[in-house]
Structure 1
């Protein structure tokens, strides 16, 4: 009797054999392996950069260049962190939001910008990340390189575990600051804007007093002194001098009223935004329609910012717009005070054009406000401003 033999599938010799277990090398796995192999050169560069920046900047802090060098190093660390977040997004699929840029352009003087850079938590965390990653980079590079040769079947699982540690580090040290930290940085910048604005206003008031009312009062005192000397000798000349001095007094009083109105107008304190803005609109060179729809008055500080914002915008319309008419609308929406100023002039206004628009935007930003300018060439120009509503407390 002839024995019949059956062979296992795929085998000609009849030997039973199961297919080998092959780990899944997907695209994601290869990206993780590439990331782990790149860890060594990347971490070596980051470690050298961080140690150099810290040692050079720290050792030279006793000189005038030490702190600027350290601040520059922290700003550079921010850029390294940006590259690491990009590498993690591409190879590890980690979606980490970019930190808020330091508002150095909005800050005041060089010392304030230097202090802000030195206190940057994002830069310091990136420095820490670069320092502690060196031994980890060596471990991951050696482990993956060895596994490519001798641990091929388990490499996907090993790569996944090592990559998860990298994901944890990126999220923990390179993620953006929390909301409180963001607000602290913004408020520090806004405080500098407020301080600079207040200092500029004080200089303007001093200049206006010195060149205007003060000079006029000095001339008035001299004229009255001459009139006193001629009172008995030449009464007619003395009377003419007194008459001239009377005119100087009127002009000085008008200049003082204008200056006081520029500091804080009495009509705003006594009667609110509707009357104050109507008064400003009456002095504009083009007809202005004012509409104020407010259930009650906001806090004095918000009311003052709204008044001076509209006042400066109407001055810009008088000087630059060549408009035939304009309008001012003020209303409240939930917890926001909205202002819209529109004119039918030539348009083309820009925040950077030197017409005071950028200063207005910075002032509003200092109190959590917004400033939006829409001014296409040919017009019309529409400026929308928002301020936080704060209730008035008597």
Structure 2
């Protein structure tokens, strides 16, 4: 996680606890860097000010037209790049180490999702403010440094340090990463998009399973019963055979519907809780699985469901990909977190990019403020730990 930087006023401290050497009468390397930074302030601030006024403010003025908002969004994207360049300049010349802000989160897909996300990007707007107010300061620092180089040489290091401390404060205040609340809001907006995408994918899967499975069998059943009805009088034996075949189709259709319902939300989970539901999943695994779910109370239904489907998919991976001879599932509560650990003695090598659905599981857990950690060295064993927030069940 990106570290936050607290501004305590101008000083000789940089972020992350680093300290600049104290200013001395002799011109050392750091002093020359500070002088170079102050002299460069004027051309840099002129460029930033002109950019902001001509592009961003022009886009805002044309917002009522078709091109106005896209132009403004593009200007804000460019402002992000200006902020990145200023942070790099501050790191190189002032010793200010500030982490880069998170990439702009885009909720949804398509042009309009990008447009709306760009227009409300707080990092870009703070950079616009930074470039807008820097021009007067750039003029002041350039003038003072130009005079000091020829007139105030003996105290030049102290003047440079005092002026650059103001620069450090401005960079930290306006170009540092967003505060924790702002960052968390952006993460939640992004996670909401992940949840919506997964929900849509699940609905498409259910629709496909119904269409290709139970629905197709029921259509065949109806056709078979129709033919049996026609042959009932003229060929009773053939009709009886058709009815017997239809009876088999009914059984298969019912089984497919039960499997589909279990994939949506199994009845055993609702009726008996996570321990019984996980034991049921483990019994269908091709590898012997030991289940331990030490929970005195049941979590919220949504958390319980995510835990169930996480273990279910992990055990499917154990069956299909691990080559394991044994596995175990442990579930327990630690404070306000629900922890799940799935272990197997297979070949190992599992990762988020292995095409086994691990990335999807990580996204789903992340969408509810959970964690997903894989430890799977080549040769095994594999230990996968999932962590979910604990919320009490509301019956």
TM-score (norm 2): 0.86
Distance 2:250 2:120 in 1: 54
Q: Which runs of 5+ in 2 are unaligned?
A: 1-23
User: What is aligned with 2:109?
Assistant: 109
Against the structure 1 CA distance between its residues 53 and 318, is the aligned structure 2 distance closer, same or farther, given a 3 Å change threshold? farther
1:196: which partner in 2?
A: 197
- Give the match for residue 308 of structure 1: 309
Counterpart position of 2:360: 359
Q: 1:173 to 1:340 in 2, by over 3 A?
A: same
Q: Contact 2:291–2:330 (CA<8 Å) still a contact in 1? A: yes
Equivalenced residues, count = 371
Residue equivalent to 2:9: none
Matched, 1:82 2:48: no
Question: In the TM superposition, what is the alpha-carbon distance from 1:155 to its structure 2 partner?
Answer: 3.5
The aligned residue for residue 94 of structure 2 is 92
Q: Secondary structure at the match of 2:393?
A: coil
Distance in 2 (CA, whole Å) between partners of 1:205 and 1:260 is 9
Instruction: Note if contact 1:74-1:124 (Cα within 8 Å) is conserved in structure 2.
Output: yes
SS of the counterpart of 1:330? strand
* Post-superposition CA distance 1:227-277 (Å, at most 9, x none): 112212221111111111111111111000000000000000011111101
1:40 to 39, 42, 47: 42
Shift of 1:93: 4.0
Could you tell me whether the CA contact under 8 Å between 2:56 and 2:71 is conserved in 1? no
- Aligned-pair Cα RMSD in Å: 2.4
Asked if structure 2 preserves the Cα contact closer than 8 Å seen for 1:108 and 1:196, the reply is no
8 Å contact from structure 1 (residues 29, 159) kept in 2:
yes
Structure 1: where are the runs of 5+ without partners?
1-21
Q: TM-score, normalised by structure 1?
A: 0.86
Aligned-pair distance for 1:38? 1.5
Please say if residues 323 and 347 of structure 2, whose CA atoms lie closer than 8 Å, have aligned partners that are also in contact: yes
Question: Could you tell me how far 1:333 is from its partner in structure 2?
Answer: 1.1
Larger Rg belongs to = 1
State the shift of 1:284 in Å: 1.1
| Residues 52/215 of structure 1: CA separation in 2 closer, same or farther (3 Å cut) | farther
Segment drifting more, 367-376 vs 226-235: 226-235
1:289-328 mapped onto 2 (5 Å cutoff): 289-328=290-329
Q: Secondary structure at the match of 1:392?
A: coil
Greater shift in the superposed pair: 49-58 or 216-225: 49-58
Query: Residues 328 and 342 of structure 2 are in contact (CA less than 8 Å); yes or no, is this contact kept in structure 1?
Result: yes
